[in-house]
Amino acid sequence: MLNRKSLEDGTFLNAFKNVPGLDWWPEERIESSMQSMLASRPPQEPIWVFAYGSLIWNPLFQFAESCPATLPGWRRSFCIHLFVGRACSTRPGRMMALAAGGVTEGLALRLSEDCVEEELRVIWRREMVGGAYRPTWTRVTLSDGRSVPALTFTAETQSKLYQAQDDIDTIAPLIAAAEGPLGPNRDYVLQLYSALRQHGIEDAYIQQLAECVRSGD
C-alpha cells in the first residue's frame, strides 16, 4: 500500500525488489540521486515541488505552502509502461509523467527548510523505485505572479519503460483494460480528472482520456 509509513519504513520500495522487468533502485541509489539534486539546488531559493498527478490529491509529504502553478515546455503524458500496481503483466496499462512540449498547470508545494531532506526522501522513495522518472529543476510561474524554481519529475526517456506513443487512441484501450492488485488503471485517470477539476485546471488530453476510459471506448 502507498502511504507515508510504507515509504518511510521501506515496505513500498522493497515490494518491487524482485519484480521481473523493473529497474529496481535500492535505497542507496535513491539517496544518491536525491543528494545530487540537492547539490544542484538553485542557491538562495526555497524548494518547491511541482505536483501534476497524484501528488495533487495524495502528496504524502509535508509542505508549508501550496499555490497553483504553470510549467511551460512540458505536458502530461501517459508514456510509461505499467505492469505493477494498477496493472499486471497480462493486463498492462500506462502510468503518467511529463513529456517535452506544451504547458502544464498544477500545484507548486513549498517545503519547510527545517525538514527538506526528510520530506524529499519520502518523495524520492515514492517516485524513483523503477527509474522511470527524471528529477529536474524547472521554473514555474505561481498564480500570484512569482517565478520560482521547482523540482519536477519528468519522464526518463532512456528508461526501458518509456513509450513515446501516447496518443489517446493508443493508450485509452490499454488503460481501460488494465487492472492489478491496487485496482483498475482507469481509476487513476478518473481520480486525476476529478482532482484537476476541483482545482480549476483544464487539460484537454486528460479530459478526453477520462471520457474514453469511462465509456470503455
Give the span between the Cα atoms of 176 and 193, in whole angstroms. Answer: 15
Choose among 144, 153, 145, 141: nearest CA to 33: 153
Largest CA distance in the chain: 50
Q: Which amino acid is at 105?
A: E
- The active-site residue, picked from 117, 127, 156, 179, is 127
**Pairing of the two strands 48-51 and 147-155:** parallel
Confirm whether 117 is a catalytic residue: no
CA distances from 102 to 70, 98, 136, 152, 166 (A): 11, 10, 17, 15, 14
User: Cα separation of 31 and 191, whole Å?
Assistant: 30
Annotated catalytic residues are 127
